[in-house]
Structure 1
Amino acid sequence: MTVTRDRQTVDAVEKLATALSVAVRVEPELIRAVRLELFPRLGVETESDLWFSGLVRSQGPKGLVFDTGERHRLQRRLERWLRQQHPDAPVHSLWRIIQHVHTDLSPALLLEEQVTWLAVAGRSGEIDDALAPALKAVTLQNRDGLKQWLASAWERLPQAVRDSSTGWQLAQTARPRFPARRFPFGVERVPLPARRLGDLARVLDDILITVRRDGDELEIDGQPVDPEAATEVPPDSYALPVPDTAPRVLTLLAGGPRERDEDLSVPVAWQLRVHVGPGPVLLRSARGHVFRLPERAAPVHGAGLAGRFLGISVARYEHAQLPPLDHSPDLCREVGAAFGDTYAKEYLADPSLAAVTERLARLSARRHDGPLVVYVRGYALPGRRSGGPNLAFRDSDPDRPDTVLTGEDLFRLATGSGADQVLVLLDTVRPPGSGDGWGYPPLSMELRTASWTGQISVLVPHDAGWDRLFGSWLVRLLRHGPDSGPQGWGWAPRDRFITGGELMRAVALDWPGDYPSTPRNFATGVPRELLPNPRYALRDFPDDLNLADFGEAYAQEAAAFLGEVIRDSADSPEDRERAVSTMLRLGPDRGVEAAVALDDLAERFAAAGRRADAAAAHQHAIDLLRPLAEQRPDRAWPALGSALYGLAGRLAEAYRWTEARPYAEEAVDLRRRLAATRPDQRPRLAESLHLWSLVLRGVGLHDAALDAAVEAADLFGRLTADDPDEHRSALAVCLGSLANRYGEVGLPEHALTVAVQAEVIRRAQAESDPEARADLARSLHVRWYWERSLGHAATAHATMTECVTMRRELAALRPEAHRPKYAESLNCLAVGLADLGHIGRAMAPAREAVSIYRELVAGGAVDLRQPLARAQRNLSLWLGALGRPAEAVSAASDAVSHYRELEAEQKGLHRADLADALAMWSGALDQLGEGRPRALDAARQAVALYRELFAAEPDKYRRALARSVNTLSIRLDALGRSEEAARLRKEVRDIVSGALPPF
C-alpha cells in the first residue's frame, strides 16, 4: 500500500498542535516556546510544517488560527494526554507558557484561553469562578464588548464551558448577537435554580408565552406569542410575560398536592405538560413575578371520551291503556355496559316526555364529535302521522300526539348533538289490542353533522314473554360477537373496532330464525368505527369466556394476527404479554405458535443489537414450550429445540459460555431424538452440534469441542451431498470452525487442510455469486491463521494480501457492512509483514487499521473497542522495535485505556489482554527513558492482574506471571531498589519451578 504522506512528520505536527490547541491565536513565538519546552526532540522544521498544515484555518502577520473542528479534536486529545501524564510531567506547565507569551492579549481572549485550559485540564469545577467576573460585568455594568466576544467565541469554547451554569447565563445575555440561525444552546433544563437568575433577568427583555389548563394538567408552550395576538388566546389559556431565556424558566410554587416548589424548563420550540391537580396554580417567573391561575372548571360529563350512551327504560305508565311492563332498568344498563368503557353513559328510568327531550337537548348543548347511541325500551304506539310508530313515555296519552315522540323526532334531536355517528336502538312492545299490522317504516333520516346514522328496531307483542328477548340477545352479540356470518365481514380478531354497518349485518344474519319480530335496520351515510370489537384478539377477555366457542376459523385467524403482534412487539411488552396469554387460551397448538413467534422476535432483537432482550424472548419461548412438550410433543419439540438453540447462541455471543452450556447440550439431545425419526431435522441437529462445539471450546473442553465439530462437519457433508445448493454454505462455516478446533488441540496441519477445504467451497460460490466474496474472505482469513501458525510466513502473506484486496473492494461498495472486517485484515497483513521481518512496511496497514477502528468506535461501534485495542497494542510493539518509543507509548496507552473500559464492563473477560497491554506500556515507557516511575507503576499493575489470572488457571498463566514479575524486578533494579528486585527474582524461580502455589 502506498503512503502519500510522511507519517512521522504528521505525528510531530499533530503533537505540537495538540499542545497549542488551548490558544485562540498561535503566534510564532508561542509555537517556538512550546516546542522547546515540551518537545525538545522535534526539529525546527515542525514549526513550518504546522504553519502550512491542514489543521490551520487561516494564517496572518500575528499568527495562525486553527480550524474550529480540528481545534476541538485536538483539545480532546490534550485532555486525554493530561490525564495520562504524571502531575510533574512537562505538559502540565503548558498554561504557564501560554500565560507568559500572551501577557499582552486582550482580557476577553485571555479569559477564553483560561477557561479552555480549565476544561482540558479536568478542572471544570473552576470554570464558573473564572467566568463570574465576566457575568458581573455584563449584568451589572452592561459591558457590550463581552457580549460580542461571547457570540463570536461560542463555537470555539469546549463543551464543559458551554455546559457550565455561568456559561449558560452569559449565553443568554448574548443571544441577540448570535448569527440568525437557531441559537446554539440546546439544553432542555436550566443548569441552576430559577431563584438564582435575578441578576440575569435584569438585562433580558420579556416575551409572552402561552399557559393553558387542560383538566388537571398545565400545558406550557415555549414558543413566544405576538403581543398583538395575546388578547385572542383561547379559553383556559393565559399569556404570561417571562424573561427571554432558552429554555424558558418558571417555578411552580408549592400548594395543593405539591409539597415543594418545582422549577420548570420549557425549550423554545416545545410544549411542557405538568400535573397540577384541580386547584388554583401559582407560577413565578425568573424575574420574581407571581401569576395565579384559577382552579379548573368542572369537567363536562362525557367530554373527551370515545362516545356517549343514553339509555331510556320505561316500565310504568300513567295512562290506563298502557299497563306496566314486566321489566326493570337492569337490562338497559347491561346494554350500555356492553358498549364498553369508552362510552360515557346516562340512564333514564320511567322518564316523562319532557325529561327525555330535555336530556337530548342537553346533549346538543354539550356538543361532542364522538358517536352517540340512544337505546329505548318501552311501548311504541301506532302512528297517526307519516313518521311511523310513536314512542310512549311515563306521561304519554295514546290519544294525544303532543305527549309522544315519533321516530323522526327522536332522530332529529339525536343528530343535533353534534355526534359524528348516531345509532338509535328501539326495543319496543305493542300495547294490548293495537293489532300487528303496523311496524317501523324506513325513516327519512338527516345526516346533519353526522357521517352515519342508523336505526335498529324491534316490535314484539305485549304479554308474550318476549319483551327481554332483543335486549338480551343484543348484549350477548356486543359481548361475544355473532354466531354466524361470512369470514372477513367484520368482527375479525385483528379488527379493534366494529362499524355501524358491521353491527347491522350481524343483526340481520345472526338473529335466530325462530324468534318473532325480526329486527329492522335502516342506515344512511358512511359507517365508521362505532364500538369495541369483542373478538379483537389483543383485548383482555373475561375469564368466563371460552375462546374455543368462536370456532376453529377464528382461532386460526386470531393466532396469525397475534403472532404478528408478538413479532412486532419489540417496543410493546404489554401487547406481547396479552397476545401470548390469548394464544394459550386458544389451545396448546396456538401456544406453540406463540413460542415460535417469540423465537422470531428474539432474532429481531438480536439483529438490532438488543442481546439481553433477545435472550429474554428465547427464555420466554422455552418456558411456554416445556409444559406444552408433554401435550403436543410432535409440534412442541422442534420449536423447543429452536428456542434452546437460540438462547444458547445469544449467551455464547456474550461469551457467557457456562450459562450457554446446558441449553446448547439440551438442544443437541432434543434434536438428535427428532432427527432419528424425522430426516428434515438433520440440518437442525448439525447446526446445534456446531454451536455445541463452540460452547465446549468456550468452557475449555477442547477435545470434546473437536468431537462435536467433527460430527457437525460430517453431518453437513452428507447433507451437502444430497442437496449442495441448500447446505454448501453451512458446510463451509462448519469446516472453518473445525479448522480452529483442530488447531486448539495441537493439530495445526489438520486445521490447515480443513481450512483449505472451506476455502475451495467459498471460492466456487464466489465465482457464480459475487455476493459470496465476503464469505470467501472469511475463509481466507482462517487459512492465513493456520498457515502462519505452521510457520509458512510467505504463503500466509500471499493469502492475507488476497483477503485484504477483496475486503477493500467490499468496503468500497458497502462501508457500513465491511469496513470492520477490512480493518481486521489490515491488522493481520501487518502481522504477516512483521513475521517476514518487514516491520517498516507493516506500519502502513497497521496505522490504517487503527484509523478505521477509531473512526468506527467514535461513530458508536463500541463492540470494536477490543480489536482497536489489539491493533494499537501491535502498533506499539512495532513502533518500539523501530526505535520510536514516544509513539509506542502513545499507542500502548490508548490500548490500555480501551482494555480498562472493557474490563470494567465485563469483569474478568479482558483481564489477560489488559495485563498484556500494561506490560507493553511499561516496556515502552522504560524505553522512552522519561517515564521510568510510570513504567514501574504499569509493571506493578500487570503483575497484580497476572497473579489473579494465575490463581484461577495456574498452568495457563504460570509463564506469563513469571515473565511479568521478572520485568518488575528489572524496573526496580533500574531505579536502584535492588533488595526488592532480588526478592522478586527469587519469586520468579519459585513460579517457574512450581514451588509457588497459585493461592
Structure 2
Amino acid sequence: MMKQYNEAYELDIQVLDLYRQLAVDHPEKFQRRLAAALWNLAWSLNEFQKHGEAVVVIQEEVELRRKMVERNPETAVDLAISLERQSEYFINAGRSPEGLHSSREALKIRRALSAKDPETFNAGLAESLNDLANALDKCGQALEAIPFSDEAIEIRRRLASKDPSAFEPDLACSLYNHALHARKAGRIHEAADSSREAVEIQRRLTLNNLERFNADLADYLTRRALLFNLCGRASEAIPFSREAIDIRRQLAAKDPSTFEPDLVNSLQDHALHVEGAGGVEEAMDCRWKVVEIHRRLARNNPDEFNPHLAESLYDLAYDLDGCGRVAEAIPMSWEAIEIRLKLVAKDPSIFEPHLANSLHRHASYLKNVGRVDEAVACSQKAVEIRRRLAGKNPDEFGTDLALSLHGLAIDFDACGLVAKAIPISCEAIDIRRQLATKDSSKFEAALAFSIHNHAIYIGKGGRTAEAVGYNKFDADLAESLSKLACDFDACGLVLKAIPPSCEAIEIRRRLAAKDPSNFEDVLACSIDDYAIYARKAGRAAEAVDFSQEAVEIRRRLAGNNPDKFNPDLASSLFYLAFNLHASGLVLKAIPPSYEAIGIRRKLAAKDPLTFEDDLVYSLHNHAELLGAAGRMDEAFKFRRERDSIGSTLSAKSSSLRL
C-alpha cells in the first residue's frame, strides 16, 4: 500500500509541475486541469492521514479557483466544492476554526447560486448545508449544527417529492446525519425518529432495486445500530447490526473483493454492541471471524490489509483478556506487535502510535500472567515512543504518554523497583495535572488514580510523611467512583456501574485495613451497592456473597455502637434477604428478613416518623417470602401487622417488591 502510494505521489508531483508551467503560459486552457491535479493530490494526502500536507495543497487549489471565478463567475460552483473539501481537510488537521470559515464561505456561494436558479442549484445548497452541519458537529457544536441540518432535510424532502429515485438516497443521508447531531445535542427522541425514517427510506429503495440499494441498506442499518449504542442502548443495536451482517455476507459471497471489508466492519461493530450488552463470548466470536478474514485478505494483499490484520489481532487479544483467557491473548497481541514493527519501519509517522498502543496493552497481559520483567520492557518501549510523539505534538499524545508512564510505574512497583516507579509516577502526575487544568471533567479521575498510586509508592519507599498528604485523595476517589456507579445504574446502564463500583470497594478495603473506625462503614455501603448492581445484572449468587459480607461488617459495627449502626445493619439484612430470594433461596432469605424486622420494630418504637416506613417495607416483603415458602398463616400475620401500623406502602415500595 505505501509503495503504491509513494509511486502515485511522485507521479502526481510530476503532473503538477507540468500543469503549473502550462498554466503560467496558457492560463485559460490549463488552470482547470491544474486545479483538478491539485484536488487529486490533496485527496490522496488526506486519505493517507497526511492532513497538514493536504491542507497546503487544497489551499493552493482554492486560491487558483478564486482567480478563475474572477475571470469567469460561472465557475463559482467549483470554488464552493473546493471550499467544502478544504473545510474537511482543515478539520482533519486540527484547524477547526479555519474549517468552519471555509464551510460557511461555501454555503454563502451556494445560497447566492440557488437564489438565482433554485432548480439547478438547490441540490448543491442542500449538500453544502449538510457539510456545514457535519463540520460544526466535528467541532463539538452539535446544537449549532441542527438548524443547518434541518434546512438540508427540508430542501431534500422537496426534491425527493418531485424525483424520489434521484433524491431519496440523499434525504436518507441527511436524516441519518441529523440523528447524530440530535443525539450529541441531547435530543434523543428526535435522533431516534430521524434514524428510523432514514432506515425506512432505505428499505423502500432496496425493495424497488435490491441490486443497487442493498449495500446502502446495510450501511444504514449499521449506522442505526451505532446510534443506539452511542445512546447507551446496546441491546437495541444488536438486531440492526445482525441484519447488516446478513446482508453483507450475501454481498461478500458474490463479490468478496468489494464487500468483505464491509463485512469485517459490520462484524467489528457488532462485537462492540454485543459486548456493551454483556455478550462477551459472542463479541469474541465476531473478533475471531474478523481475524480470519483479515488473514486471508492480508495474504493476498499485505500492503493494504496488514494494518487491518494488526488492528483485529489487537482487538481480539483485548477480548480474550477480558474473558480471563490472557494466555491466549498474548500470542495474538505479539503477532499484532510484529506486524506493526514492520509497518513502522516503512512509515513511522502513521504507525508508531499504533505500535505504542500494542506495546502498552501487551505489557498488561504479560503482567497478568506474572511475566513482570517482560512487561516492564514493553512498557518502557511504549513510553519511549510516546515521549517522542508527545515531544512533537503534546496536545495529541500527552494523554497517552501519561497513561504509559502510569503503567510503567505500576510495572516497576510489581518488580520490587519502587525507587524507579516514583520518578515515573511523578512525571505522569505532572502531565495529568496540566491536562486536568484544561479539562477537569475529563482528566481529574486519571489524575486522582496517579496520585493514589504515587502515595503507595512513596509509602513503600519509606517516605511515610509525604505519603500521608496523598491518602486523602483515596477517600475522595472512592466517593467519586461510587457516585459514578450510582449514576450509571440510574440511567439503566447497570453493566457500566459494576467496574467503578468494584474500584470503589478496592480502595475502601485498603483504607479500612489502615483505619477501620473511619472507613468500615463506607466500605459496607460500597459492598451493599455492588450487590444491588450484581443482582440487576443477573449475577444473583455474586450479589448474595457481597450482601453477606456487608452484613458481617455492619453486625460488628452495630455490636460496638448499636445506636449508630443498627439502622444500617437492618438495611443490609433486608437486602441480603432480597438477594437470597432472587437466587431462589427462599428459606434462607427468611431468617435475615426476620432479623431486620426485629431491629426495625425497636427503631420505629423510638422514632416512628423516621423508621416506620422501613418497617412497613420489611413486613411486606417478609410476608411475600413466607407466602413463597407456603407458610400462608404466618404471611397473613405479617400483612396484618403491616396494615395495622396505619402507613400505606409508598410508591417507592413497589420497586422493592420481591
TM-score interval for Structure 1 and Structure 2 normalised by the shorter chain: 0.5 to 0.7
1:989 to 464, 468, 475: 475
2:423 to 914, 937, 948: 937
The answer (yes or no) to whether the contact 2:153–2:175 under 8 Å persists in 1 is no
Do residues 566 (structure 1) and 566 (structure 2) align? no
Do residues 826 (structure 1) and 313 (structure 2) align? yes
Which residue in 2 is equivalent to 1:745? 231
1:657 to 128, 136, 139: 139
Q: CA deviation at 1:781?
A: 0.9
Report SS of the residue matched to 2:365.
helix
Report SS of the residue matched to 1:568.
helix
- Residues 574, 982 of structure 1: alpha-carbon distance in 2 compared, 3 angstrom cutoff: closer
Which residue in 2 is equivalent to 1:537? 28
One-letter code aligned to 1:566: A
| Separation in structure 1 between the aligned mates of residue 444 and residue 58 of structure 2, nearest angstrom | 51
Q: CA deviation at 1:590?
A: 3.9
1:849 to 336, 339, 343: 336
- Residues 704, 937 of structure 1: alpha-carbon distance in 2 compared, 3 angstrom cutoff: farther
- What's the CA shift string for 1:44-95, capped at 9, x where partnerless? xxxxxxxxxxxxxxxxxxxxxxxxxxxxxxxxxxxxxxxxxxxxxxxxxxxx
1:975 to 446, 449, 461: 461
Q: CA deviation at 1:850?
A: 1.5
- Residues 600, 912 of structure 1: alpha-carbon distance in 2 compared, 3 angstrom cutoff: closer
| Separation in structure 2 between the aligned mates of residue 813 and residue 615 of structure 1, nearest angstrom | 41
| Separation in structure 2 between the aligned mates of residue 731 and residue 946 of structure 1, nearest angstrom | 44
Which residue in 1 is equivalent to 2:202? 716
1:675 to 156, 165, 170: 156
- What's the CA shift string for 1:480-521, capped at 9, x where partnerless? xxxxxxxxxxxxxxx999xxxxxxxxxxxxxxxxxxxxxxxx
The answer (yes or no) to whether the contact 2:142–2:185 under 8 Å persists in 1 is no
| Separation in structure 2 between the aligned mates of residue 859 and residue 768 of structure 1, nearest angstrom | 34
Q: CA deviation at 1:847?
A: 0.7
Which residue in 1 is equivalent to 2:110? 625
Which residue in 2 is equivalent to 1:881? 368
| Separation in structure 2 between the aligned mates of residue 950 and residue 609 of structure 1, nearest angstrom | 24
1:591 to 76, 89, 100: 76
Q: CA RMSD in A?
A: 4.1
Q: CA deviation at 1:823?
A: 0.8
One-letter code aligned to 1:989: A
| Separation in structure 2 between the aligned mates of residue 847 and residue 651 of structure 1, nearest angstrom | 40
- What's the CA shift string for 1:127-165, capped at 9, x where partnerless? xxxxxxxxxxxxxxxxxxxxxxxxxxxxxxxxxxxxxxx
One-letter code aligned to 1:885: V
- Residues 943, 578 of structure 1: alpha-carbon distance in 2 compared, 3 angstrom cutoff: closer
| Separation in structure 2 between the aligned mates of residue 952 and residue 701 of structure 1, nearest angstrom | 27
| Separation in structure 1 between the aligned mates of residue 304 and residue 213 of structure 2, nearest angstrom | 24
- What's the CA shift string for 1:863-918, capped at 9, x where partnerless? 44443332222101011112222221222223334444555555545554443322
- Residues 978, 572 of structure 1: alpha-carbon distance in 2 compared, 3 angstrom cutoff: closer
One-letter code aligned to 2:456: I
| Separation in structure 2 between the aligned mates of residue 824 and residue 609 of structure 1, nearest angstrom | 23
Which residue in 2 is equivalent to 1:88? none
Q: CA deviation at 1:761?
A: 1.7
One-letter code aligned to 1:782: D
Which residue in 2 is equivalent to 1:796? 283
- Residues 718, 914 of structure 1: alpha-carbon distance in 2 compared, 3 angstrom cutoff: farther
| Separation in structure 1 between the aligned mates of residue 187 and residue 146 of structure 2, nearest angstrom | 13
Q: CA deviation at 1:630?
A: 3.1
| Separation in structure 1 between the aligned mates of residue 329 and residue 197 of structure 2, nearest angstrom | 40
The answer (yes or no) to whether the contact 1:918–1:938 under 8 Å persists in 2 is yes
- What's the CA shift string for 1:764-821, capped at 9, x where partnerless? 2111111211110111111122333333333222221111010111112222222111
- Residues 586, 725 of structure 1: alpha-carbon distance in 2 compared, 3 angstrom cutoff: same
The answer (yes or no) to whether the contact 2:81–2:106 under 8 Å persists in 1 is yes
The answer (yes or no) to whether the contact 1:568–1:601 under 8 Å persists in 2 is no
Larger radius of gyration between Structure 1 and Structure 2: 1
| Separation in structure 1 between the aligned mates of residue 66 and residue 177 of structure 2, nearest angstrom | 29
| Separation in structure 2 between the aligned mates of residue 875 and residue 697 of structure 1, nearest angstrom | 35
| Separation in structure 2 between the aligned mates of residue 537 and residue 745 of structure 1, nearest angstrom | 53
2:261 to 737, 754, 774: 774
The answer (yes or no) to whether the contact 1:671–1:681 under 8 Å persists in 2 is no
| Separation in structure 2 between the aligned mates of residue 802 and residue 774 of structure 1, nearest angstrom | 12
| Separation in structure 2 between the aligned mates of residue 917 and residue 641 of structure 1, nearest angstrom | 45
Do residues 727 (structure 1) and 218 (structure 2) align? no
| Separation in structure 2 between the aligned mates of residue 791 and residue 637 of structure 1, nearest angstrom | 46
Q: CA deviation at 1:974?
A: 0.7
| Separation in structure 2 between the aligned mates of residue 661 and residue 902 of structure 1, nearest angstrom | 34
| Separation in structure 2 between the aligned mates of residue 712 and residue 946 of structure 1, nearest angstrom | 42
The answer (yes or no) to whether the contact 1:625–1:640 under 8 Å persists in 2 is yes
| Separation in structure 1 between the aligned mates of residue 62 and residue 100 of structure 2, nearest angstrom | 15
Higher helix share: 2
**Mapping of 1:201-212 within 5 angstroms?**
none
**Mapping of 1:800-949 within 5 angstroms?**
800-860=287-347, 862-903=349-390, 908-930=395-417, 932-947=418-433
- Residues 658, 989 of structure 1: alpha-carbon distance in 2 compared, 3 angstrom cutoff: same
| Separation in structure 2 between the aligned mates of residue 572 and residue 983 of structure 1, nearest angstrom | 54
| Separation in structure 2 between the aligned mates of residue 758 and residue 736 of structure 1, nearest angstrom | 6
Aligned residues: 436
Gaps of 5+ in 2: 1-21, 40-56, 161-165, 482-658
The answer (yes or no) to whether the contact 1:720–1:731 under 8 Å persists in 2 is yes
| Separation in structure 2 between the aligned mates of residue 908 and residue 805 of structure 1, nearest angstrom | 36
- Residues 968, 711 of structure 1: alpha-carbon distance in 2 compared, 3 angstrom cutoff: farther
Q: CA deviation at 1:846?
A: 0.2
- What's the CA shift string for 1:209-267, capped at 9, x where partnerless? xxxxxxxxxxxxxxxxxxxxxxxxxxxxxxxxxxxxxxxxxxxxxxxxxxxxxxxxxxx
Report SS of the residue matched to 2:38.
coil
Which residue in 1 is equivalent to 2:646? none
| Separation in structure 2 between the aligned mates of residue 897 and residue 984 of structure 1, nearest angstrom | 28
Which residue in 2 is equivalent to 1:965? 451
| Separation in structure 1 between the aligned mates of residue 93 and residue 302 of structure 2, nearest angstrom | 19
| Separation in structure 2 between the aligned mates of residue 908 and residue 696 of structure 1, nearest angstrom | 28
One-letter code aligned to 1:674: I
Which residue in 2 is equivalent to 1:98? none
The answer (yes or no) to whether the contact 1:644–1:666 under 8 Å persists in 2 is no
- Residues 917, 716 of structure 1: alpha-carbon distance in 2 compared, 3 angstrom cutoff: farther
Question: TM-score if structure 1 supplies the norm length?
Answer: 0.39
- Residues 574, 758 of structure 1: alpha-carbon distance in 2 compared, 3 angstrom cutoff: closer
1:635 to 104, 120, 123: 120
| Separation in structure 1 between the aligned mates of residue 283 and residue 268 of structure 2, nearest angstrom | 9
| Separation in structure 2 between the aligned mates of residue 990 and residue 830 of structure 1, nearest angstrom | 34
Percent of aligned positions that are identical: 25
Which residue in 2 is equivalent to 1:223? none
| Separation in structure 2 between the aligned mates of residue 639 and residue 594 of structure 1, nearest angstrom | 12
Report SS of the residue matched to 2:324.
coil
- Residues 657, 890 of structure 1: alpha-carbon distance in 2 compared, 3 angstrom cutoff: farther
Q: CA deviation at 1:648?
A: 6.2
Q: CA deviation at 1:705?
A: 5.9
Gaps of 5+ in 1: 1-494, 498-531, 539-560
Report SS of the residue matched to 2:28.
coil
- What's the CA shift string for 1:942-967, capped at 9, x where partnerless? 33444555566666656544433221
| Separation in structure 1 between the aligned mates of residue 108 and residue 147 of structure 2, nearest angstrom | 14
